[in-house]
């Protein structure tokens, strides 16, 4: 479904998409996983809470950085 994804898979995608520049963009992530916009924000919020990622920049130009690499 487009409303859920294993958080680890999203973290793997963020790692893959941020490999060159250190950050992944929302378009990168959406094209790579087919997750709904709403579900993406919910999951990213949970990963921020868990201190696994940080979000830089403001909507609609957020960029996602992995933490504790």
Partner 1 sequence: MIDYTQKIPNNVDLSGDKALQRALEHWQPAFLDWWSDTGPAASSALEVYLRTAVSVERDGWANFGYVRMPDYRWGIFLVPRDESRTVLFGDHKNEPAWQEVPGEYRSTLRRIIVTQGDTEPASVEQQRLLGATAPSMYDLRNIFQVNVEEGRHLWAMVYLLHRYFGRDGREEAESLLARRSGHADHPRILTAFNEETRHWLAFFMFAFFTDRDGKFQLASLAESAFDPLARTCRFMLTEEAHHLFVGESGIARAIQRTCEVMHAHNVSDPSQVRAFGVIDLETIQKFVNFHYSVTLDLYGSEVSSNAAMYYTTGLKGRFQEGKLADDHSLTGSDYPVQEVADGQIVVKQVSALTALNARLRDDYIREVQGGLDRWNRVPAKFEIPFRFMLPSIGFHRRIGKFSGHHITPDGRVVTEAEWTGRMRDWLPDASDHAYIESLMGRVVEPGKFANWIAPPVRGINGLPIEFEYVRFN
The binding site for partner 1 (CB under 8 A) comprises 1-3, 5, 9, 12-13, 17, 20-21, 24-28, 30-38, 41, 57-61, 63
- For residue 8, the minimal CB distance to partner 1 (Å) is 10
- For residue 31, the minimal CB distance to partner 1 (Å) is 6
Q: Which residues, 6+ apart, have CB-to-CB distance to 65 below 8 Å? A: 18, 22, 23, 24, 53, 54, 55, 56
**Structure token pair of residue 19:** 């490999």
- For residue 48, the minimal CB distance to partner 1 (Å) is 16
**Structure token pair of residue 60:** 């609609």
């Amino acid at each position: 479904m487009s409303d859920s994804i294993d958080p680890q898979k999203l973290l793997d995608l963020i790692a893959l998409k941020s490999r060159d520049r250190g950050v992944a963009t929302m378009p990168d992530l959406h094209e790579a996983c087919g997750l709904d916009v709403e579900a993406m924000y919910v999951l990213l919020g949970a990963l921020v809470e868990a201190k696994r990622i940080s979000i830089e920049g403001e909507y609609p130009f957020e960029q996602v950085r992995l933490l504790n690499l």
